[in-house]
Amino acid sequence: MFKRLNVVVIFVLAAFAMFAVAACADAEDNPFGTTTPVPAGEVADSGSSEPASSGPDIGNGESKFTGLGCSGCHTTGTDKLIGPGLAGISSKGDDYIRESITDPGSELVDGYSNLMPTSFGDLPASDLDDLVAYLNTLN
């Protein structure tokens, strides 16, 4: 009985050792673990229209500015409509601009009423980045 148990233990240890050696060998073959190499040609056009590292898209910001109706209340110059003209807004900083869009009532511009819609708080983060980048170009 005792001998028989020994044989089982040795068998289990041996199996485990073989498994461990095989696992180590795999790891050496591919130092990056489970990463599957991607052929260089396929990286560029992997389906997304927005490459991850391209930064804000000022062109998209500009089309959102008209598409979302911002331009119905704001000129890109200094003329007032319902809201102030946005030329030179970059001097107030990205955080201020961002908050003016997502939470317009939080800080009202002197002389204006709280008429800006609050719905822009739901904008996708990338559109918001693009809008801020576009507004920063206005002088």
Query: Which residues of this protein are in contact with ligand HEC, per CB under 6 A?
Result: 68-70, 72-74, 82-84, 86, 89, 92, 97, 100-101, 104, 108-109, 112, 114-117, 120, 131
Nearest approach in angstroms of CB 96 to ligand HEC is 7
Alpha-carbon distance 137 to 130, whole Å? 11
> And the tokens for 121?
């708080």
Residue number, 20 or 81, with CB nearest to ligand HEC: 81
Residue number, 6 or 119, with CB nearest to ligand HEC: 119
Nearest approach in angstroms of CB 56 to ligand HEC is 14
Residue number, 30 or 139, with CB nearest to ligand HEC: 139
Nearest approach in angstroms of CB 39 to ligand HEC is 41
Element (H, E) at 15: helix 2-29
Alpha-carbon distance 57 to 62, whole Å? 9
Alpha-carbon distance 102 to 98, whole Å? 6
Nearest approach in angstroms of CB 55 to ligand HEC is 19
Strand intervals (E) in 1-139: none
Residues belonging to the chain: 139
